[in-house]
């Protein structure tokens, strides 16, 4: 097949591109900017078009055009494909078709998806179960990629207690995102549910709507399926799945396994222990024994931009730089708490890029509190990362990083607004001291500041 992917540099859709390449399809794609991911895809044989999406990137001999959920309906490439009668599918629709072919483990929740998916994948790979994996981050264990091509598990089937359907003797592990109800396209046999929070309110509008869609998603499980859920989460407890006959397995930080997990886990924080416990319970459902699972968890050393620790030298000062994707208040709070647990007596700086103005508006007070209540010594705020097509104009002038900074300072925490990455780099080089801990946090292009400081 000849397949074109619009927004191919995205962390999810790029894994899909790698899947098609691994299956010997001819793959092309477009994205606004080049990145490490687009370079990786080029090295694997994809034709990449960088810059504004153009009609000429779509040829009539294409069999399928896939687009990111972030792509607008008036996108010139998508319109051209539809006009030519080429089959089109969103990323979730295309991935959903793949889930039908595999025994699928889908990891969902507002936070912890990437880490939990990574942990499950490493455990399964180490145990010889050869999973295919779609990740929302990159793993060193998978060649610094967000994708792993697996295959048949053959003889290992006989060692499992779980009854696989013969037609689904290959395992697929995916992150199942709730954005725009994407996960309603998937057909999992196991769902791992880490937590539910008020996320993507620009789409859902309210927590009640979020809970309703999560219920619809969970009810897609087959009768012989498994739901692995966080029984400590207050919003998950509001869901009603009592009438379904699939197996329900709750997990809690009070569970006896948590101590053994924390002994072997190399990444800090109770939130990571909880993610590891979710992975433990999910893989246990497949019949793996505890020693095999703990051995796999001990191999997990962290993922790209998930508490990713680097030693850097800035102006002849040795600094520990930690790159982290945290952008929701709960993630910020958990990450900074883990930081203080790990570096009890060190000076900790947090440089944060808020994500999308409308989203920042919804979460404004919680973002302020997540920093104000933390034990970090200094907070630096960068301009809000703009997400094309996701903000309404009424919010543009009413929300800013400067206002976040003002409120954080009012609550007694030292916060500073810096207007761009270049000035932030200069300020940090001048003011960081030998041995300081520097967190670079956010889900936008703040990774560019990470690279400016670490290369």
- With a cut of 90, say whether residue 325 has pLDDT above it: no
Of the three residues 299, 317, 349, the one that is the final residue of a domain is 299
Q: Is residue 408 part of a domain?
A: yes
Q: Calculate the average pLDDT of the chain.
A: 90
List, for residues 80-90, the tens digit of each pLDDT value.
Answer: 999 999 999 99
359 and 422, same structural domain?
yes
Within-domain flag for 95: no
Of 304 and 254, the one with more pLDDT: 254
Residue 12 has pLDDT above 70, yes or no: yes
**pTM: predicted TM-score of the whole model, two decimal places:** 0.83
User: From CA 398, how far away is CA 354, in angstroms rounded?
Assistant: 14
Residue 26 lies in a domain: yes
- What pLDDT score does 46 carry? 96
Check residue 398 and give its pLDDT: 77
Among 166-170, 238-242, 268-272, 416-420, the least confident range: 166-170
Q: What is the pLDDT of residue 367?
A: 94
Q: Are residues 214 and 334 in the same domain?
A: no
157 and 290 share a domain? yes
Q: Could you give the residue ranges of the DSSP H alpha helices within 270-356?
A: 270-284, 290-299, 329-342
Decide if pLDDT at 163 tops 60: no
Same domain (yes/no): 243, 376: no
Q: What would the DSSP string read from start to end of 38-60? A: HHHHHHTT-EEEESS--GGG--T
pLDDT at 384: 94
The verdict on 123 and 270 lying in the same domain is: yes
pLDDT at residue 135 greater than cutoff 80: yes
On whether both 223 and 340 belong to a single domain, the answer is no
Q: Where a domain ends, among 30, 62, 90? A: 90
- Position with higher pLDDT, 207 vs 162: 207
Mean pLDDT of 106-117: 93
Are 43 and 109 found together in one domain?
A: no
* Angle at which helices 290-299 and 270-284 cross, to 10°: 140
**Tens digit of each residue's pLDDT (9 = 90 or more) over 379-389:** 999 999 886 55
pLDDT digit string (tens) for 253-262?
A: 999 999 999 9
Within this chain, do residues 286 and 321 fall inside the same structural domain, yes or no?
no
Model confidence pLDDT, tens digit, residues 423-451: 999 999 999 999 999 999 998 889 899 88
Give pLDDT tens digits for 391-416: 555 555 678 999 999 999 999 999 99
CATH number at 359 reads: 3.90.190.20
Q: Enter the DSSP assignment of 306.
A: B
Residue 292 lies in a domain: yes
Rounded alpha-carbon distances, angstroms, from residue 450 to 320, 349, 417, 443: 12, 14, 17, 12
Q: 277 has which bridge partners? A: none
Cβ-Cβ contacts under 8 Å for 59 (sequence gap 6 or more): none
pLDDT at 87: 97
167 or 174, which is more confident = 174
Q: What is the pLDDT of residue 118?
A: 95
Q: Indicate the burial class of 182 (C-beta count within 10 angstroms; 0-12, 13-18, 19 or more).
A: buried
Pair 267, 364 in one domain: no
pLDDT at 447: 87
The answer to whether the CB of 17 falls within 8 A of the CB of 41 is yes
Question: Please, what is the end-to-end C-alpha distance for the chain in angstroms?
Answer: 40
229: CATH: 3.40.1190.10
Look at 164 and 408; give whichever has higher pLDDT. Answer: 408
319 and 284 in a common domain: no
Q: How far is CA 69 from CA 12, 150, 307, 381, in A?
A: 10, 26, 27, 28
Query: 404-419 as b/e, with b when 16 or more CB fall inside 10 Å?
Result: bbebbbeeebebebbe
pLDDT score of 318: 94
Query: Looking at 75-225, which runs of residues are DSSP E strands?
Result: 87-90, 103-108, 132-139, 145-148, 171-175, 190-193
363 and 270 housed in the same domain: no
CATH of the domain at 28: 3.40.50.720
Which residue bears the tokens 């030693």?
Answer: 311
Using pLDDT thresholds of 50, 70 and 90, give the confidence band for residue 154. low
Domains of the chain: total: 3
Q: What would the mean pLDDT of 278-292 be, rounded to a whole number?
A: 93
pLDDT of 454 reads 83
Question: What is the span of the domain harbouring residue 331?
Answer: 308-454
* Domain end among 57, 90, 123: 90
Has residue 32 got a pLDDT over 80? yes
User: What pLDDT is attached to residue 152?
Assistant: 73
Give residue for tokens 């191919």.
8
* Sheet of strand 87-90: strand arrangement: 47-50, 26-31, 2-6, 64-67, 87-90
Say yes or no: 84 and 113 in one domain. no
């Amino acid at each position: 097949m000849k397949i074109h992917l619009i927004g191919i540099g995205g962390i999810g859709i790029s894994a899909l591109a790698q899947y098609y390449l691994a299956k010997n399809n001819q793959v092309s794609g477009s994205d606004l900017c080049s990145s490490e991911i687009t370079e990786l895809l080029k090295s694997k044989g994809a034709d990449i078009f960088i810059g504004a999406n153009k009609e000429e990137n779509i040829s009539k001999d294409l069999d399928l055009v896939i687009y990111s959920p972030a792509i607008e309906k008036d996108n010139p490439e998508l319109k051209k494909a539809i006009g030519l009668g080429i089959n089109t599918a969103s990323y979730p629709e295309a991935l959903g078709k793949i889930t039908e072919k595999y025994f699928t483990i889908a990891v969902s929740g507002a936070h912890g998806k990437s880490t939990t998916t990574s942990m499950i994948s490493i455990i399964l790979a180490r145990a010889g179960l050869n999973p295919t994996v779609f990740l929302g981050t990159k793993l060193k264990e998978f060649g610094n990629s967000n994708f792993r091509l697996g295959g048949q598990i053959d003889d290992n089937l006989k060692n499992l207690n779980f009854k696989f359907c013969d037609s689904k003797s290959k395992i697929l592990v995916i992150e199942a995102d709730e954005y725009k109800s994407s996960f309603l396209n998937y057909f999992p046999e196991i769902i791992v549910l880490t937590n539910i929070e008020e996320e993507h309110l620009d789409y859902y509008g309210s927590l009640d709507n979020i809970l309703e869609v999560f219920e619809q998603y969970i009810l897609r499980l087959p009768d012989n399926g498994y739901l692995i859920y966080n029984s400590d989460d207050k919003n998950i407890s509001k869901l009603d799945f009592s009438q379904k006959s699939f197996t329900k397995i709750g997990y809690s930080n009070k569970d006896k396994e948590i101590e053994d997990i924390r002994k072997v886990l190399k990444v800090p924080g109770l939130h990571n222990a909880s993610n590891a416990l979710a992975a433990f319970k999910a893989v246990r459902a497949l019949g793996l024994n505890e020693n095999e699972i703990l051995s796999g968890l001990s191999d997990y050393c962290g993922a790209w931009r998930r508490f990713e620790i680097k030693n850097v030298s800035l102006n002849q000062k040795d600094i520990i730089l930690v790159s982290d994707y945290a952008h929701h208040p709960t993630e910020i709070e958990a990450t900074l708490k883990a930081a203080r647990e790990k570096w009890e007596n060190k000076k900790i700086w947090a440089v944060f890029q808020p994500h999308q103005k409308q989203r920042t508006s919804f979460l404004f007070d919680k973002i302020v509190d997540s920093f104000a209540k933390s034990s970090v010594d200094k907070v630096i705020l960068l301009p809000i990362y703009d997400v094309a097509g996701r903000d309404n104009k009424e919010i543009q002038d009413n929300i800013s990083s400067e206002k976040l900074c003002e409120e954080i300072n009012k609550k007694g925490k030292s916060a500073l607004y810096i207007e761009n990455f270049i000035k932030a780099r200069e300020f940090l080089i001048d003011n960081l001291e030998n041995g300081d801990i520097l967190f670079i946090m956010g889900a936008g292009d703040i990774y560019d500041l990470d690279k400016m400081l670490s290369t």
